[in-house]
Structure formats: C-alpha cells, structure tokens
Amino acid sequence: MPWDPIQLNDGTKIPSVAFGTWTLGNGQPARDHVDQALETGFDHIDTAQAYRNEEETGTALQDSGLAREDLYITTKYSGRDGLDVNTSIHNSVKWLGVKYVDLYLVHHPRLAVPDIPTNWQQMEKVKADGLAKSIGVSNFEIADLEILLASAKVKPVANQILFHPYVWQRQAPLLEYCKKNGIVVEAYSALTPLTRQPGGPVDKAATQIANRLSVKPEQVLLAWAKSKGVVVVTSSTKKERLEGYLSAGDIELSDDDIAAIEAAGALGARRNLVRTFLTRAIGLALVGSLALGACSYLGIDVL
C-alpha cells in the first residue's frame, strides 16, 4: 500500500511520510534540499524552532507554487532563545510564511516549562487561536504523557519519537500506550541501523529481504516502520534516495520479514547493551587502578 494519510484524534489527517529538516543546517543548501523534496513528491515537511531553518523552509514552500491546502507543515516549540510558546509560534509562522501550521509539537518534555500542564495550556491556546490545526508532543515517555493527559483539555494528536529496530523493544510499550490513548506515533531516525550504526545484525536481515524483493535495504526499514502504523519522518540530500523512500510505501513485508527485522534489532540492542556495560566497566577499572596507584604512591592503606 502507498503512504496513505493517517486519521488523527481531532478529525484531521496527517500524511504518513514526511521530509525532515533536522540535519540540513541552514542557508541556501537547506532551502535547496526542501525544494528538492517538494519536487520529488513530499507534501509533509517537518521542521523545528531548534533546527534554525524555518525561514529557509518557508522560502522553499513559497517558491514551490503549491497551494497551502496541498501542504502539511509540522514545526516544534523548542524553547529557542528562552522564548515562550506564544512568541515562538508567531515567529515560526512568520518565518514559514504561513498563517498556521498543521501540527505544532512540544519538542521535548524538559522544554515544557515551567511544567508540562502549564506548557500544554499554552499549546492549547495556540490551537484555539488558529495558529496550529493540531498540537502534539515529541520525545515524551509514558510518564510524561500521563502527566499531560491528567489535565489536558485537548489530547495531543501525535508523539514524535526515536524509532528503529534497535530500539523497537524499548519503545514498544510506548507505542502501545499511545495507541490505547489515540495518539499517533511519529518515527524519526528510522534508518539509524544503516546510516549511523552500520555493520550490525539489522544490516544482514534488511539486505536479505531487499535482495529477495529487488529493493534497497533502506526501503525495507521504512516499510517495516510503516507496518507499525507510524508516521515516518526521514531525510536525504539525494533525490534518488527520496524517490526510493516514497516508493517504499508500496512495499509489502511478510510476517516473517517483520519478525526477522525485529529479531535482528533485539540482537543488536543486546550487543549495544553489552558494549555499553563493558565500556563503563573498563572505564571504572581504569579509574580504580589509577586511584590505587595514587594511594600506593602516597602511602595510603586502602585495605
């Protein structure tokens, strides 16, 4: 199936794949890459106050000639320069060159100042004022969502989180909680096993499936994420890869394919845990060795 829109709990719909501007930086290159994504066929652009490229994104949106109703724009409140939510959203719509954004997210729970309930009240006002059609959060854990939902008058429509096979087991309870509460999960960094942690177990599983289906491994990972019902936020500076990302929406993975990717993800997660443990243990051992050496040199009895 293609990247079909997903229904949100406020009655609106969100395109299920987005072009993210997180890694683009700013200036003309960022503008060019957003323009390229729009030309390739992306109609959902995801940016943030913290990325410092809302203005470049806005210029590309205006230059595209696309009607506002044919675009879906997500940005985030990131607490940039200590600005409050109201000031930040007004700056964002100005830089983006629009009257409203489709989705406005709290970028991280630690940015929900002075606290989550108060911050969310400010987000609800953004929606009430018509500056955002929908409001949501990013990087919120279950405990954060419980605090928010306890006082919210408007339920968040989405929670954008880190999501790829190596964190699947850890994030699964959060996905289940969001599903139970009608909150759509958005996935960022879905291609991490291939782009940032190459050589791990997921590489082999994704490559084997890709070879059988005559597609690319990155398309397999995007199809896996799609199978979980999430909105995928991805990015590339290469047009051919963007085209591949869009066509990944047509890839149908079997249950065995999905299970193989998740088994590889679990294996990689365990390896990462062991690697982290050993690194810390070695570090502590070195510190301890140095401390014992210093005590011996100073004539201090540590027994």
Tokens of 148: 């928010």
Query: Does residue 107 fall inside a structural domain?
Result: yes
Residue 233 in contact with residue 24, Cβ under 8 Å? Answer: no
Q: Please name the amino acid found at residue 186.
A: E
Query: Does residue 237 fall inside a structural domain?
Result: yes
| Residues placed in the known binding site | 107
Overall number of domains in the chain:
1
Query: Does residue 27 fall inside a structural domain?
Result: yes
Band the pLDDT of 2: cuts 50, 70, 90: confident
* Average pLDDT over every residue of 51-57: 96
pLDDT at 32 over 50: yes
Q: Is residue 51 among the annotated active site residues?
A: yes
Indicate the average pLDDT of the chain: 91
Cα→Cα distances 244→92, 292, 293, Å: 30, 57, 57
CA atoms of 242 and 247, how far apart (whole Å): 9
Give 106 or 299, the one with higher predicted confidence: 106
Query: Does residue 59 fall inside a structural domain?
Result: yes
Band the pLDDT of 13: cuts 50, 70, 90: very high
- DSSP code for 230: P
Per annotation, catalytic residue among 51, 104, 166, 188: 51
Give 276 or 109, the one with higher predicted confidence: 109
pLDDT at 294 over 50: no
Query: Does residue 292 fall inside a structural domain?
Result: no
CATH assignment at residue 195: 3.20.20.100
Query: Does residue 289 fall inside a structural domain?
Result: no
Query: Does residue 296 fall inside a structural domain?
Result: no
Helices marked H in the chain: 28-40, 54-64, 85-96, 116-128, 142-151, 168-180, 192-195, 201-213, 217-227, 239-247, 255-298
Percent of the chain with pLDDT over 70: 89
Query: Does residue 301 fall inside a structural domain?
Result: no
Question: What is the span of the domain harbouring residue 38?
Answer: 6-275
At 185-243, the pLDDT tens digits run: 999 999 999 999 999 999 999 999 999 999 999 999 999 999 999 999 999 999 999 99
Band the pLDDT of 103: cuts 50, 70, 90: very high
pLDDT of residue 160: 98
